[in-house]
Structure 1
Amino acid sequence: MRRLAALLLIAAGAAGAQTRYEGLCDASAGVALDARHFVVADDEHNKLSVYQRGEPKRVGQVDLKFLKADKEADLEGAAQVGQRIYWIGSHARNSSGEVRKDRHRFFATEIVGTTVEPVGKPYTALLADLLAAPALAPLKLADAAGRAAEAEGGLNIEGLAAAADGSLLIGLRNPIPLGKAVVVPLLNPAELVDGKGPARFGAVIRLDLGGRGVRSIERVGAGYLIAAGPAADTGTFALFRWSGKAAEAPSPVQLDLNALRPEALFAWPDGHVTLLSDDGGVMVGKKACKDADKAKRSFRTLDFRP
């Protein structure tokens, strides 16, 4: 009976209706600003968009010129600590295996009313710190960093979550060594945006997500929710609940994703969670959404209570 009750609890997250928001396709990270507003990163542009919950048109936009990135920073993860939101780029090569230093960005914004403002300085040496860390040597990240983001064994950061002590968890979409996803604790995020590197890391955590990597990770209550997906474009997506303890395995959450491509999720103050779909490849007429007319670009979300 206890096992049945636990399974029912895991499946208890009844999903609400999908909502479509306009103005961008490649929703890649998000955070609730208050009970009604949220901010979203788009991995194709160096801008953040602010939306009101349930309203399709954005109500604000923040230009990230302070990143000093000539091309897209490929923003993929966000984590809130108090009034501060940390953001992270993929730190990955492009699909052709070419180095894209503009993607080497870790930075912070502060919540100001219903928008955000950049704070501190962008940190650009995180990849170098990852490759130099002795504790991470078994991951062979130097080899991974030399490959295209979605190539087998390539390096691609996509998840970022806050821990209870103010540190962060970095989730990797790729590589997935021995079929287990990689999560790396970042111990000193505040120091990095204050220009006081290098980064310090905790012990690597490896999670069984059914052969998938981390697409998004979010602290919800005393634990975490993880959106998991393939390292490349093809494969299945799933949602997991995890206690946050390295020795404990994640549990699958029974949620009908209904053709969504989960790329981000975040929690609201009322306990609900919003899942964001990266719809850049969804066809809009004869064009992929990210190539469609700006007026036709949009992304889908799914609200549920875990």
Structure 2
Amino acid sequence: MSRWAIKSDHRRRRFGGARMKRILPLALLFAATSLSSVAQAAEPSLFGYREMCNASAAAALDKDHFVVADDELNVLRVYRRNEAASIAQVDLSSFLGTKPSKESDIEGAARVGNLIFWISSHGTNRRGEVQDRRRRFFATEVVERPSPTVRTIGKPYAKLVEDLAGDRGLASYNLAEAATRPPKASDALNIEGLADGGDGSLLIGFRNPLPGGKALVVPLLNPTELIAGTPARFGAPVELDLAGRGVRSIERVGSSFLIVAGPIDQEGAFELYAWPGPATDKVAPVPTKALAGLFPEALIAIPDAQEIQILSDDGKAPVGGKTCEKQPRDQQAFRSVVFKP
């Protein structure tokens, strides 16, 4: 154990349709003079946060604050819940060894004790080109004062694909070859979920591949050792029947887990599932309207609240004749819903 020891995704990707009626369109969030009052009039738990569109991974800092990654930027933003503007930004470019304009495609986060672990997609770009900057596993430490934020700790780890490909227990998934395919192609490698395993481990949730049509979850046994440069060790993989969907987000809630399941591409619906954990492959759908109209990619269990926050990746949402992610930073936003499961 290192000195950083743990202290104790058929709906098309568009807006509209009957299911969208409950959710305030993103364009209205931009036009609103008061995001808070407009959101409450349409849906009490809906809120829009500014300065980014592609909310792809997040973790709670405390009951009132959370930190979010954008898969198109190497910047983390800290928000106070129900306040539209971020209160802090953490630029990761230098730490991750990338240029500011070259994203690492951060897709998953998991808080364990005072550390938040982050994982990038580890997939290729859309053209199937392997890019080292998309292969990062790293950690940040929660800083509580004077205002909640995070700071980097340890070293980014860039050899996870090699470790996955070399593990005998994962050999049947051909992950070395999968890692050379475009991420939304059949049997490609694309990671989007990360969760506290509850015993010092993390659970890696794969959007792709879907072995036998099932979602793949792999336990990472030694996360703190990775940020000190030690190769990864893995537990037995679990295949979950999410009705042909992959893992878009996974979060530990108490002693069990919630999973946002979604398509490997942009065609299909998202659903929420409950899962007891790695000891079983049994999952149960969670009836909820909370996902309606959203493109959910991040789950947060709000501390001391028995509530779940879902963040929507709204990068492709149409705003002013462009997609959200093509707008100036001060005109970008993503939606969030808080509900009780």
What band does the TM-score fall into relative to the shorter chain? over 0.9
The equivalent of 2:175 in structure 1 is 141
Give me the identity figure in percent. Answer: 54
Deviations, residues 223-272 of structure 1 (Å, cap 9, x unaligned)? 00000100011111001111004424111111112210010101111221
The equivalent of 2:254 in structure 1 is 221
Preserved CA contact (<8 Å) 1:16 1:304 = no
Q: CA deviation at 1:100?
A: 1.3
State the TM-score, normalizing by the size of structure 2: 0.84
* Alignment counterpart, residue 275 of structure 1, candidates 301, 310, 320: 310
Pairing 1:46–2:101 present: no
Q: CA deviation at 1:58?
A: 0.7
Structure-2 separation of matches of 1:303 and 1:56: 15
* Alignment counterpart, residue 290 of structure 1, candidates 315, 321, 325: 325
Structure-2 separation of matches of 1:296 and 1:228: 29
Structure-1 separation of matches of 2:322 and 2:338: 27
Structure-1 separation of matches of 2:187 and 2:170: 15
The equivalent of 2:335 in structure 1 is 300
Pairing 1:240–2:273 present: yes
The equivalent of 1:67 in structure 2 is 96
How many residues of Structure 1 are paired with residues of Structure 2 in the alignment? 291
Residue type of the partner of 2:326?
D
Structure 1 residue runs without a partner (length 5+): 1-14
Structure-2 separation of matches of 1:292 and 1:283: 10
Structure-1 separation of matches of 2:198 and 2:211: 27
Residue type of the partner of 1:90?
S
Deviations, residues 250-303 of structure 1 (Å, cap 9, x unaligned)? 111111122100101011112211001000000001100001122210000110
The equivalent of 2:235 in structure 1 is 202
CA RMSD of aligned residues (A): 1.0
SS at match of 2:87: strand
Residue type of the partner of 2:329?
K
Preserved CA contact (<8 Å) 2:157 2:227 = yes
SS at match of 1:191: helix
Structure-1 separation of matches of 2:248 and 2:281: 20
Preserved CA contact (<8 Å) 1:206 1:246 = no
Structure-1 separation of matches of 2:123 and 2:105: 9
Q: CA deviation at 1:16?
A: 5.2
The equivalent of 2:109 in structure 1 is 78
Larger deviation, residues 250-259 vs 175-184: 250-259
The equivalent of 2:133 in structure 1 is 102
Preserved CA contact (<8 Å) 1:123 1:193 = yes
Structure-2 separation of matches of 1:200 and 1:135: 11
Preserved CA contact (<8 Å) 1:22 1:57 = yes
Pairing 1:189–2:218 present: no
Residue type of the partner of 1:84?
L
SS at match of 1:56: coil
| Between structures 1 and 2, the one with greater strand share | 1
Structure-1 separation of matches of 2:265 and 2:279: 25
Structure-2 separation of matches of 1:141 and 1:245: 20
Deviations, residues 46-70 of structure 1 (Å, cap 9, x unaligned)? 0100000011111110011211123
Residue type of the partner of 1:145?
A
The equivalent of 1:254 in structure 2 is 287
